[in-house]
Amino acid sequence: MEDFDEFVRARGDALLRYGYVLSGNSEDAADLVQEALARLGDAWTRVRNKHDPEGYVRTTMVRLHIRSWRRRHREDLVAAVPERGEHDRYGDADLWAELQELPRKQRAVLVLRYYEDLPDQEIADILGVSRGTVRSQAARALDKLRIKRVLQEAR
């Protein structure tokens, strides 16, 4: 349990950033991280072979995020505007804004592939879909964002 608090302190910021690229806003990011960490904390004393707590949390976060998309993705599509102005500080504000419009699953695939740098097979395992689905979702998302697919073939 001491280890759990240490883990939260050490990895909290990194998990928040991951939550932010997944969800697109700080509020949902905090919600996702807190929920996933609370679940990890509850399991901490019971699941005794803890090899990869961070992987557990990140997987929980992306699954939670996609699951809530199934419930309420309509409102999200409407509310999909970047909430803060800071994005203009870098030149990719348009791309970031367009990312908000993707269905959650497609966006999650992109985050896992381009932010987490995971191979497609691992993404498939995390999302519980086939590798082919990962590739087609990624291709569709990249097309929507008008991004040329180059690295894909190497995966």
Partner 1 sequence: MRGEQDLIRTLRTAAEQVERIDLAEAVAARRRSRRTRQRSRTLLAAAAVVAIVAGTTFALSGGQERRPQPAVTPSAPASITPAGKLWPQAIAKVPATNSTGWKMYPVTALSPTEVLLIANSAFEKAGRLEVYDMARKKTRVLGDIPSPRKKYYLQHIAVSSRYIAWYGETPQDPDKWADFWIMPRAGGTPKRLAEVAADVDRIGLTDDALVWSLKAGGGVYRMPLTGGSPSPLPGTKGLRLMSWPWAGGFASERPDANQTRVVNLETGRSADVSLPDQVEMMQCHAEWCTGIVDSRMVVQRVDGSARKTLPFELRPHGARWLLGDRYALFQVYEPDREKKGVPLGAVYDLATGVTAGLGERSGAPLGGNVGMGGSSSSPSLTPFWDADLQYYEKCGSGGCEIKGRGGGKEYTVVNLAAVTR
Q: Which residues bind partner 1 (CB under 8 A)?
A: 1-3, 5, 8-10, 12-21, 26, 29-30, 33-35, 37-38, 41-52, 55-56, 59, 84, 86-87, 90, 92, 95-96, 99, 110-111, 114-115, 121, 125, 142, 145-152
- Smaller CB separation from partner 1, 20 or 69: 20
The nearest distance, CB 12 to partner 1, in angstroms, is: 4
Rounded CA separation 74/69 (Å):
8
Rounded CA separation 6/101 (Å):
36
- Smaller CB separation from partner 1, 111 or 134: 111
- Smaller CB separation from partner 1, 74 or 107: 107
Rounded CA separation 61/96 (Å):
20
Q: Which residues contact 129 (CB under 8 A, 6 or more apart)?
A: 137
Within its chain, how far is the Cα of 84 from the centroid? Answer: 19
